[in-house]
Amino acid sequence: MLDLSRVAGQIGEMVGQLKADGQERQQHLVRALTLMVDRSVDFEKLKRKAAQSKTTFLVAGLVEPLATHTKPAETPTDFSVIATDGSQIDVDRHQSARCYLINIGRIRLDYGKNPRATLESLPRLCADDNALVISGGTREQVVEGALLNIKRSVDECQHLADMSAELPPAQPALAVIDGSLILWGLAGKEFPDFVVEELLDKGFIKCLDDMLKLAKKRPLALASYISFPRSTDVVNALRLVLCPHDPADCDKYCGETNIGKRPCDAVAGVQDRDLFANLLADSERSALFTSQSKIVKENYGKHWVNFFYMKLEDEIARVEIPEWVAQDTAKLGMTHALMLDQCRRGQGYPAALAEAHEQAVVTGADRENFQQLVEILMADEHMTQTTSAKSRSKKTRWV
């Protein structure tokens, strides 16, 4: 049990530091906003510099001029929005039954002449040897923890692709995923190549391929939604404006310089959402940008992740879309309009995602009931149950 009285003083110090940092960050924000609207900044030159520089931070690829702001297109009369979300019960190594469960919430909302809502919760128990590991030749990787989170994301995308195929072919539709289109869980991790191939190439990217095939024949767009984003990709592009070297090379020119003393630190601490909260009017979207993350460059191909920011009544949201949506003016406009419409219907958060979450969520009580049901059914079959001393200790407190 956490003793709050012992940490209260530390919280007070943290709040004081945040206040002091906030004053400096406000000065940096003013500098960043000035750069965003500075017409003397050569956009094409900055675009080339962003592509050629070697930086220690992630810089957004530039597609449209920085200060671009676009009003939403008209919302179609009849349209559908589909969304998925998921949760899981991880492998419990203290229990005798080795298994995990993935629960996917699926939502389809039809608007217009024939309004309809379809809400589903689809739990899947995985306990056989093939489902508990990912195999590559003679090697195996156990599916649990971070890897189970990634597998769940792949399942969410697979269900979204399946639902897309069931939509009326002529009806405009938006398919929505919660969070990022980028499988960050695989980025920077030392997973074997066969794991990346199974989950990304044969899993997530394969689902995107299926959706692209459908989108070539019907008005279908795909997007992911990130609420309260903490990204700094666009601010980092402004760092290149301040860098006197072209192309920039952080290690070569500033490797020995302390953080806070570099020319680009004049915009340090500012987040992208701070910029667009000041630049965008309500409902507008920002310029388009592209992700330059390594995992996207190496694996996403025709699904290269683009993104824009959108101003809502209470926050700035980040919307990520694959390249084939970004390059189609009609689908880009529809994505902006329908995502905004969903947020209005959901009181600031996409209604379809909120409902998908409700269908997917697994509570602490659900986890306990699940484990008890497993134990009861095993006992009915007279199966020996071996649990750890730690597990038994939690059930029988003795102090």
Give bridge partners of residue 102 from the DSSP assignment.
88, 124
Give the tens place of pLDDT for each residue, 46-89: 999 999 999 999 999 999 999 999 999 999 999 999 999 999 99
DSSP 361-385: ---HHHHHHHHHHHHHHHHHTT---
Check if the beta carbon of residue 310 is closer than 8 Å to that of residue 336: yes
- List residues bridging with 118 in a β-sheet: 108
- Percent of the chain predicted with pLDDT > 90: 80
- Which of 101-105, 213-217, 258-262, 298-302 has the lowest average pLDDT? 258-262
pLDDT of residue 292: 96
pLDDT in tens, 315-369: 999 999 999 999 999 999 999 999 999 999 999 999 999 999 999 999 999 998 9
Alpha-carbon distance 161 to 322, whole Å?
A: 14
pLDDT at 398 over 60: no
In this model, does residue 204 exceed pLDDT 80?
Answer: yes
Distance CA 108, CA 79 (A): 11
Q: How far is the C-alpha of 81 from the C-alpha of 350, rounded, in Å?
A: 10
- The rounded Cα 368 to chain-centroid distance in angstroms is 29
Higher pLDDT, 390 or 350: 350
Query: What stretch of H or E contains 278?
Result: helix 272-279
pLDDT score at 374: 86
- Name the CA dihedral angle for 371, 135, 144, 210, rounded to a multiple of 10 degrees: -100
